[in-house]
Chain A
């Protein structure tokens, strides 16, 4: 078995004492490819941010031995990017080389070549000079993937990368995700399409404010579990205060 890369122990993450997810335990192993799925508001995005260390955990621990923020390549959910911003496609992609070029250093020719290669890998050859405002949303998502390619991160974290993206683009980008997996990178992706998850992701975390199941996809995505996830989402009480598990301890 590969090394555990990220270990969650009884993790609770809360916004102003309202837990967005609670008592989640499990492991992401090095080189694993995990889908996170569950109803809206299940805490999926929250979990990703906690894993990357962007949100503090209220209880429990997340162990990330030796990892820093820079080991993560993150694609936020419907990235809050102003697409009318006057940036060229090439400049957007080259942001992915931030670690190398930093804030002040000259962008060396090697980075430019890599950016061109990344663009052709996502099917946007020759788009470098275009302004991002002139792209379709599918094309823009391809640009963000090209930026991830340049980032060359050990762990790739994707939050609903294919929501509202056309089928052809989804297929192309999913290929890239699978290639990352083959290169030995660790993939963590929030997805809604169950067929996609079953076809490509060996492991699944089914989340509904707590982990319904976390393991091999065929087991985690059993119809019984899926029903439970839905029921939990529907019976969720926004006004709930103290969690029973904590109350039992207290």
Chain B
């Protein structure tokens, strides 16, 4: 088998592979940077919980549309994700539970509710699609959605970069100088939710957050500054998407999990080889003069 046959021809020969690849790239460009910010805010768990919270909304969309309808499920997911984000913000402000804890308790409730609603009407196949995504069945409309969300995310990040970083870094300071921190915090949660809705289409509820958090963890290991972290995270997600699709094609295994596992492998290798990784600790080099 030639390199061409392994790495290129699946995408030349099959339209569904090309669409899946474009979807992965778009997801990567949006989710990578958002995941980095989520990690830096120590909200990784929140992201995970939020991705589950989308499920009941998407499931209600599924019920109303009477099938796997992209607009209905996307809209339902968006509404559910946003309400959960707002609600947990309120709960963590009015009770002594940390935001993380309040999110975690929504997690199981949402998952159970979502699965229940889908199984009211849908088949087991529908359920599988909802839980694990349908990246190989992505159509043009889904591509527009995913691409639109990625573009919106990148533009939004560029516009609110400074206040977002300031709010993330030192919220107390931003409040003191009258920086409307909660507005930007909410805007950020909005970005998280729309990116999760996009991932949900491709990777399903259970792994939607994978292309967000794993690349972010890789970026943390390799990069020092925030812009390079964004770049490393997006690149990691792009590479995971591409290699994951290639591997799933040749080994005929499910593509969503393969993409996530590829990202996990990159993370594992980074743990060993990165500047702060284990290999560098074992083989220390002579230090510099002063």
Contacts and interface: CB of A to CB of B under 8 A. Distances in A.
A131 B177 contact: no
Interface residues of B, number: 26
A79 interface: yes
Contacts of B277: none
Interface in A32-68: 52, 54, 68
A152 B196 CA distance: 42
Interface stretch (B12-20, B205-213, B221-229): B221-229
Interface string B160-173: 10110110111011
A219 B4 CA distance: 87
Contacts of B165: 87
Contacts of A82: 40, 42, 169
Nearest to B40: A85
A85 B168 contact: yes
A128 interface: no
Contacts of B170: 79, 81, 95
Interface of B: 40, 42, 159-160, 162-163, 165-166, 168-170, 172-180, 184, 223-226, 229
A69 B223 CA distance: 36
Interface in A79-120: 79-82, 85-88, 92, 95, 98-99, 101, 103-104
Contact of B163 (A74, A79, A81, A103): A103
Given A74-B173, A98-B179, A103-B160, 17 more contacts: A54-B176, A69-B177, A72-B176, A76-B172, A79-B172, A81-B170, A82-B40, A85-B40, A85-B169, A87-B169, A92-B169, A98-B174, A98-B177, A99-B177, A103-B163, A103-B184, A151-B177
Contact of A86 (B42, B175, B223): B223
A104 B159 contact: yes
A131 B174 contact: no
